[in-house]
Each structure stands twice: as C-alpha cells, then as structure tokens.
Amino acid sequence: MKVTRTFDLVDLGCKVSPREVMFGGKHGNEWVTYSTEAVRELTDLFSCGMMSLGYGRGDHIATITPNKAEWNIVDHGLAQAGMIHVPVYPTIGHEEYEYILNHSGVKAVFVGNKQIYNKISSVSAGIPAIRSLFAFDQVNDLMTLDEIIEEGRKQRERFLPELTAVRDSIKPSDLVTIIYTSGTTGNPKGVMLSHNNLVSNAIATSTAHEFGLGYRALSFLPLCHVYERMMNYHFQYKGTSIYYLENMGIIADTMREIKPHIANTVPRLLEKIYDNIINKGKNLPWMKKQIFFWAVILGLKYRITGNSRFYRFRLGIARKLVFNKWKEALGGELRVLVSGGAALQSRLERIFWAAGIPVLQGYGLTETSPVIAVNPFRIPDIMFETVGPVLEDVEVKIDEDGEILCKGPNVMMGYYREPELTAQVIDAEGWFHTGDIGRIEQGRFLKITDRKKEMFKLSAGKYISPQVIENKLKESIFIEQTMVIGENEKFASALVSPNFTFLHDWCSIHRIQYRDNSDLIEIPEVIERFAREVREVNKSLGEFEQIKRFRLVTEEWTPQTGELSPTLKLKRNVLTERYHNTINEIYSVREKGNVVEKVVGVIRSSVNGILSHLPRF
C-alpha cells in the first residue's frame, strides 16, 4: 500500500502491519493500549465528532499537551477531515501562547491537563477566533476527547459520507500542520508542512534501521516538535508499537517496564545519563571504582571500525563487568537510540556504542520536516562526529560561505503569513538556506560545525564558533550550561551555569562551606576548580578561540525560566540581556585590568627577584 498522506498510516497499519498495540499510554498506573483496528475506528469517530460540532476543512485546531497515545487520534482525525493541526509546546510562557494562538488563527484548543488549562484559559478568552477549549482528559467542565468521539458515534451515519469525500480529495501537497519554531530569536515562526513533506521524510528514514513489526518504541520527546512528530510517523510506517510517556522524570522506570528496542533522544538527555553514571562511579568502593573507570576510559576509545582484536577482547570484559548494567538500567533490550535536535558530543557516541547502546545522530530543521541527513544503523555507512549521509531523496550543497543549503520533498511550504521571511530562506532556485555551517567529509558524510547567525567576530577580525567551544566545555561534569561571548571584543569569554547537584557533592567532599549558591560561586576554591576545566578545554583550542575569562552564575538555565528554548537551545538574546551587567564587568575589568596587571607584574617580578637572593630552607 502506498502512503502519501499522514493519515494513510492508519490504513497501512490495518492492511499491512496489523498489531494489538499500535499505541499505548499510561492512565494513572495502568497502561491503555490501542490496536490498529481500534485506532481506525476512533479516528473516524473523532473526525465525525468534530464535524458535528461545526468544524470543517481548513479550520486550524491547536493541541497543547504532554505526550499521549490519544494525540494520534486527534492528529489523524484532524488531517483526514482536512483540518490543520497546530501543536504547541506545553512549557512555553504566557506571551508565546498569546502570539501563537493569535497568529495561527486557531478555532479550538485541546489541552492535556488542568495545569495547561490554567495557563491558557485567560489567554484564549482574549482571542475571538477561539470558539472552544477541549480536553484530552477530564478538566473542569470542558468537553473531552471521549465525549467528542461519542458525539461522532451518534452522528456517524450523517457525517461519514462527507468525511470520506473530504479524505479522498486531500492531496499529498496539501497543508497538514503548522509547527511554530522555538523562537530563540524574535517571535516564533509558523512552519507550514504538507503531507508530502512529513511522509516523504518518514519513508526516507525508514531504511536507517530494521526495527519494525514486533518491536517497541518509547516516545518521550514532545510530539509537538517536528523531530518526534516525524519519527512518530516513521515508527507507524515501520509497524513499530509505540508507547508514550507524559512525564520525562520517570524515563528510566518506564524503560525498565516497557523494555523498548528503540527511542528518540536529544544530546542533553544523553549528557545527563552519562554524568549521572560517572557520578555514581566515583562513589563506588576502591576496587569497583578502578574497574568502572578502566571500562569508561576503554569505551571512550571506541571506533566504528578498526578496533584491534585485543581491544575487542578487553571491551567484551568491560561489557560484562560494567556496561551491561547500563543496558539493564535502560530496559535491557534497547537496540538503538536516535539523537537529534542539537550536536552530539563525540565522547557520548563512543561510550554508548562501546556499551552496546548504539546512538544514531541525525540533522535537520523544522523547515525540512526535519531530517536532512542521518547515520543509519549500518556499517560502513556511519561516521562518528558527523550527522551521516544525506537522505536519498534530498539534495545538499555547501554555499561559498560554508552554509548548508537543502532542496527536496522535505522542504517546507513556507512560513505562515510571512512571505517575506519565506523568501529570505528559500531562494529563487528552491534551495533552503539552513543557517548552519558545515562540510562534507569523505565525499558523503555531512558534518555540522556551527550556526551561521551565532558565529561572531572578535575585534581582531577572527571568527569564533561558539557552539563548538560550548560543547567542549559541557563535557565537564561541573558545567550544566554555558554561553561563549565576545563579539567585537578582544577575546572570548564565557558565562557558566554550574551543575549544582554535582558541585554541592564536590563541596561536601572537600569540606567547603557556603550559605547558598550565590555564596558558593564566589568561593576561590570553586572558581579555581572551574578554571581548571576551562584551561583543559583551552588546550584543544586555537589561541584566539581560548576562553580568557569566565563568570559563574547562580541561575540554572531551563525552558521554564526562559534561558533555553523548548528544544534546549540557548536563547542568546535573552541571556545577553539578562547578564548585561556581568558581561560589561567581564570586559570593563579586563580593559582596566591591563594597567593593573602590568603593575602587578612589575611587583611580582621585584618580589621574585628579592626572594631569589634569600637563603633557602
């Protein structure tokens, strides 16, 4: 059966890969699952229910919810009825909700729980276009998804012929969704994606691994993000059973319960898993600690190919003694993790592969539906420190300034209500300008080096790629987040948000006392410990790239507090404004310090000269 529209995946499941569990999700402590036939029926009933409530083709409907199996009923039900799905992050702020719900022109909003309802009820009340709020589960007196389905059941005979006619008339090139970018700079942009945009990407990535019918996937990244959304279609195309997790705080417990074979992740989550494992390793008894870190050091030397027989022998021992416990902690049956959304540190690729948990790194943007390139689970078509080969039906070329340009069926229709912005990123020849800088390795592997807009120039004319340096700094277990700064200045500096959980433990071990985090980051021993981490990174950088000064900050940067986007990217404008005084102090002190340092240097030289003539004891 040929799939050309997103909702065709429901028919594909029924006709080609029928299964008892197409989707599953937890209601309280119990797992509720849906077979392919149940999904087919509920999707049709939901479409009829929405039509009976007066919604029709072309209407924009928003969903704001954590991951739920029932999200798919709404998604496919809207799509086959010709309605436009506008998924919105459940973690953004009041102003972003107001902008997105106004700009998109939605007529109804589905909320995932009471907490979300409380956040947006006042916003929606001020938007005349919004006719109704609905709820996935019971929230106050809102009409629920189940009630809409029951309404559809009552009205099925009346609306099913109309639904069939609409469904048959929908073309692959028709708009199916508007996904708003995370808005690291300025207002979010509404990316218009067609059925073909998303379906072509789901099919093109389907050859990256073999885990289809009979395998389990765990979905915990937000379905409102294009990465998890497309991979959700990808799993449906493959016939994989998908289990959804609303609370990311219980990922480890759920993995042990579900025992997934595959899951999508982001580098930051892998970093946290790795840091937690290393932190626990440091607290092991002496002998176990030696074995643990012997295995870790060995794993960090892992290569895709070319490992010697002696290395493979030692790795086998390391897996039995150490790494198998890592796999057990992730359910014991995990075959592969797919990483996207940001750059993945090479050490994480190596250590997880060494542990028998292969990580496939890919790359793309919301505007490209999203995947442009991905490392498949197939040697020799994979290369560490790259995002893999470009997809078969996608074209990529590197512009004169190093920017990655993309063309193919995955490139968006444009930005909603923003033709001028669309023209800025899609040129007359149809090339989408990604804004990322990269190069092609060995003639076929795409390597991303930085964001074009985030690169900056020092006053001496040298260009700095901040992401490269930031990723190196974040390899330190002491550093949770960091932002490299220095545009038009003489040197690069950094703002550092510490990993306070680990730092508190470190202070306890070293008997360092403090009142609070504000006091903690001023302690000389703490500053010197971070300076050691910075000096270590500087060894791998060119002279002009090195971090000359840094400042620790007390705040932990999160999407909820506004420093990070929902996809955990730095909001550089927000951070620059928030730490304006700190940044000024970094550079003003430096400028004033030139004279001071010269005086201190003279004094130091004089003192050293005097001391050199004193007798030694």
**Cβ neighbours of residue 554 under 8 Å, at least 6 residues apart?**
516, 517, 518, 520, 521
Structure tokens at 326: 């890592």
pTM: 0.85
Smallest Cα–Cα separation from 341: which of 436, 449, 225? 225
Angle of CA points 435, 202, 360, to nearest 5°: 70
Burial of 294 (0-12, 13-18, 19+ CB in 10 A): middle
More confident residue, 342 or 84: 84
Examine the pLDDT at 241 and tell me if it is beyond 90.
yes
Q: What is the mean pLDDT of residues 333-345?
A: 92
The 10s digit of each residue's pLDDT in 175-196 is 999 999 976 567 899 999 999 9
The CA distance from 24 to 37, in Å, is 14
Q: Is residue 611 scored above 50 in pLDDT?
A: no
**Helix intervals (H) in 330-433:** 346-354, 419-425
At 604 the pLDDT is: 44
Render pLDDT for 69-108 as a digit per residue (tens, 0 to 9). 999 999 999 999 999 999 999 988 888 999 999 999 999 9
* pLDDT for residue 185: 60
Res 591 pLDDT > 90: no
The residue type at 594: N
Predicted confidence (pLDDT) at residue 598 exceeds the cutoff of 60? no
Which runs of consecutive H residues, i.e. helices, occur in 114-266? 114-125, 145-154, 156-169, 195-204, 226-238, 251-258
Separation CA 565–CA 578 (nearest Å): 15
- For the chain, what is the radius of gyration of the CA atoms? 27
The yes-or-no verdict on residue 617 having pLDDT over 80 is no
Q: Which residue has the tokens 């932990």?
A: 556
Predicted confidence at residue 498, as pLDDT, reads: 96
Task: Choose the weakest-confidence range: 15-19, 233-237, 247-251, 413-417.
Answer: 247-251
Domains of the chain and CATH, by start: 8-170 (3.40.50.12780), 456-599 (3.30.300.30)
pLDDT at res. 455: 83
Identify whether the C-beta of residue 270 lies closer than 8 Å to the C-beta of residue 352. Answer: yes
Q: How far is CA 611 from CA 42, 416, 599, 617, in A?
A: 86, 72, 18, 12
pLDDT at 592: 41
Sign of torsion, CA 250 252 253 255?
A: positive
Mean pLDDT to the nearest integer, 119-143: 95
Beginning with the edge strand found earlier in the chain, give each strand of the sheet holding 60-64 in spatial order: 143-144, 132-135, 108-111, 60-64, 84-88, 175-180, 190-194, 414-415
Q: CA-CA distance, 567 to 266, in Å (whole number)?
A: 9
Q: What's the per-residue H, E or C state across 583-617?
A: HHHHHHHHHHHHHHHHHHHHHHHHHHHHHHCCCCC
DSSP state of 323: I
146-181: string of b/e by CB count within 10 Å (b at 16+)? bebbebbeebbeebbeebeebbeebebebbbbbbbb
Query: What dihedral angle (degrees, nearest 10) is formed by the CA atoms of 122, 123, 125, 130?
Result: -150
**Is pLDDT above 80 for 609?**
no
Residue 467: band (very low, low, confident or very high) from pLDDT cuts 50, 70, 90: confident
Tell me, what's the pLDDT at 462?
83
Q: How many whole angstroms separate alpha carbon 249 and alpha carbon 220?
A: 10
Range of weakest confidence among 266-270, 457-461, 519-523? 457-461
Rounded percentage of the chain residues whose pLDDT exceeds 70: 95
Distance CA 397, CA 436 (A): 12
Higher pLDDT, 246 or 607: 246
pLDDT exceeds cutoff 60 at 596:
no
State residue 184's pLDDT score: 59
pLDDT over threshold 90, residue 562: no
85-98 burial code (b ≥16 CB/10 A, e <16): bbbbbbbbeeebbb
- Residue 335 in contact with residue 263, Cβ under 8 Å? no
Query: Hey, CA dihedral for 295, 297, 302, 307, is it positive or negative?
Result: negative
Q: φ, ψ for residue 72 (rounded to 5)?
A: -70, -35
pLDDT at 608 over 80: no
H or E, element range at 396? strand 395-398
Helix axes 346-354, 286-299, angle to 10 degrees: 110
% of the chain exceeding 90 in pLDDT: 81
Mean pLDDT for the chain overall: 92
Could you tell me the pLDDT band of residue 248, with boundaries at 50, 70 and 90?
Answer: confident
How large is the angle between the packed helices 226-238 and 8-15, nearest 10 degrees?
30
Mean pLDDT of all residues in 268-279: 89
Confidence of residue 287 (pLDDT cuts 50, 70, 90): very high
Q: What is the pLDDT of residue 589?
A: 59
Span 226-233, average pLDDT: 98
The whole-number pLDDT of residue 7 equals 98
